[in-house]
Structure 1
């Protein structure tokens, strides 16, 4: 199976950076990552735009190797989301690094399994409501592993007290609930204390969820948004929020294959989300072993997503120490100002 594309191939560039890697990491902001990418084709710009892959103006894959004065290196990769998802990208970079590092040519990789375009054409930007006057800020928040464990215990206690116990919440589930709760509290405060119905969307990796499971290294947009509609504040409790997503994930496990998933579940999503004023989107790239990528220089000291994120998005990734979770969040400036001082959020991590 060949992806439907313009056959432009991949572009590979090298660049020199007139500073040291340590200075950059200590003194840079999120926006400074953009300079590492060729031609401004940063992750989100190329992935979520309305680019036509048949156009000669689009190169689906761009790579730039950036050399610092100290000898440090930053590898920047931009892949169109109309070709593949985050799991595909991490596996691609990991296999590329393994092949580069293994000089004995004994390393082999399985042939990638591509999915036809009609099953891959999922553009998450359609679920994101942006307004011309939105002033967005992207920042990072770190949850140490010990604090995540404390939050899991708190959620277990809260749900047990409610009579709807959740005995096995995952790290991502409890953090998604907390982040959503704090973001909604900020939005409500900025709306003169008036609660507005909203939607929460969590992106699920379908590869291991269906009855006919797919290879881990399958290439494509093998993801599906799961959504919850919150119509009143009382529905923001963890037992409703986390259980809602767990039930939807169980639905996937009852479906036979990828064709069934997209045919049954995708049709109603947009209609449901039209009923709310705002949508908050959560994506987890945890457990994808990004911090094990090694081109022969050793494992990376920093793995980051660059580019301008969309409004009300949260992307969860493994922390550099492989213990905690780092969150890239993009909110309106007024909401973010409240979130950054939320004592409930700050009890479990730091900006």
Structure 2
């Protein structure tokens, strides 16, 4: 049964105090511009409880939040600038008329999650009239609430979203932000946007490649610890891998095994991780400041050099850790001199003659952040849903008791092979399909 969502109110929420003229133009960095083709869509689900869900309070606290994070109330001026003109964020109220919260969460589908969003997260193209932030508050018949966010990726990576959520929720709880200073920084001086223009390259638009399936997998703490212990090789003078490193390597190996029967011409596969740079830079930046303050690192599996069809996750975890560990302040600053970072991105697939020879899987981890603690005064969310189109992408999120929930999107044939991989499923405590290739994904508006 398709979810029915009725929007009954939509308004523009502006900052409670005007942004000074001296802060009118917010410059985008190179990394902002590369990421700026879509919105980050997340939905936080809350049970009805002792605390009333006061939506007027949400709107008022959002006004105060936008005064601190003023670029989120602005509009695109040109390819490298946000005009902080206090146009505001979209704030939408809606009712889910044919479903209780518990019914939806028993088997959540991406098409239903998209119905709860305030706008299409993949507009083509994004333009100057569109907001940087849109929020839709969805009420269920049972009294539960789903707060859905679409945050323009050009202004916010995962850590920046946590900064928005922490600031807004603290104000809504009546506590005020703990450390509002430094939430808006000028990262364009570090990651110079001129590199993108001088190269003649532009960020590619998001394209839905169609025949992809998406599933969510839950890995329990005990099984993740088993992987960490299995992959720990003290004789090689390596530290014990982190939860994310161990699980990334485990999933990466399983995906390569799943691809090879479909694509025997595969010569190289890359695992791409995003490393948060805020505390790695010297001087460090605020841990939750706006922007895309990350570095992309890639670990490589080479069919000829690494044994062809024999894929060893214990070996790959060393590649993952090595790629992540090399990211230091000096390395990052050197990479961003004379177009180094952009050239590295553009050159990575040049040696391969056709698309079948080179594939990749990107991992975006929200673990060890406060993503699962977003509390407006109603308690922590009982679940977080993703509105992303998942194509060769895995998103990691913390779950209770130290486990990790992974949403992953793969070509349909590859996902079918992954489902048959008993070595993979021996570590999975729960799995569920969230999207099939035939689904039409749209928002309610």
Q: Which of 29, 33, 46 lines up with 2:113 in the alignment? A: 33
Q: Which of 156, 179, 187 lines up with 1:84 in the alignment? A: 156
CA contact (8 A) 1:99 1:107 kept: no
CA contact (8 A) 1:183 1:335 kept: yes
Alpha-carbon distance between aligned partners in 2 of 1:141 and 1:124, rounded to the nearest angstrom: 34
What pairs with 1:26-105 in structure 2 (closer than 5 Å)? Answer: 26-39=106-119, 41-42=120-121, 45=122, 51=126, 55-102=127-174
Q: Which of 382, 400, 407 lines up with 1:328 in the alignment? A: 407
Partner of 1:290: 371
More helix by share: 1
More strand by share: 2
How far does the alpha carbon of each residue in 1:54-77 deviate from its partner, in whole angstroms, 9 at most, with x for none?
x33422111111111111111111
Alpha-carbon distance between aligned partners in 2 of 1:189 and 1:221, rounded to the nearest angstrom: 37
Partner of 1:149: 225
Partner of 2:216: 140
Structure 1 gaps of 5+ residues are none
Q: Which moved more, 1:247-256 or 1:63-72?
A: 247-256
Partner of 1:22: 102
Query: SS where residue 229 of structure 1 aligns?
Result: strand
Scaled by the length of structure 1, the TM-score of the pair is 0.84
Q: Which of 426, 434, 443 lines up with 1:347 in the alignment? A: 426
Alignment partner of 1:198 is 2:269: yes
Q: Which of 327, 336, 339 lines up with 1:262 in the alignment? A: 336
CA contact (8 A) 2:241 2:321 kept: no
CA contact (8 A) 2:266 2:359 kept: no
CA contact (8 A) 1:120 1:222 kept: no
Change (3 A) 1:217 1:108: closer
Q: Which of 187, 212, 220 lines up with 2:291 in the alignment? A: 220
Q: Which of 235, 248, 255 lines up with 1:176 in the alignment? A: 248
| Runs of at least 4 residues off by over 6 Å | 120-125
Alpha-carbon distance between aligned partners in 2 of 1:106 and 1:214, rounded to the nearest angstrom: 17
Q: Which moved more, 1:218-227 or 1:228-237?
A: 228-237
Q: Which moved more, 1:194-203 or 1:145-154?
A: 194-203
Alpha-carbon distance between aligned partners in 2 of 1:195 and 1:120, rounded to the nearest angstrom: 35
Alpha-carbon distance between aligned partners in 2 of 1:297 and 1:81, rounded to the nearest angstrom: 27
What pairs with 1:153-164 in structure 2 (closer than 5 Å)? Answer: 153-156=229-232, 159=233, 164=236
Scaled by the length of structure 2, the TM-score of the pair is 0.67
- The RMSD of aligned alpha carbons is 2.9
Alpha-carbon distance between aligned partners in 2 of 1:302 and 1:274, rounded to the nearest angstrom: 41
Q: Which moved more, 1:333-342 or 1:208-217?
A: 208-217
How many pairs does the alignment contain?
Answer: 332
CA contact (8 A) 1:127 1:270 kept: no
Query: SS where residue 407 of structure 2 aligns?
Result: strand
Alpha-carbon distance between aligned partners in 2 of 1:34 and 1:274, rounded to the nearest angstrom: 36
Structure 2 gaps of 5+ residues are 1-22, 27-80, 353-357, 432-445
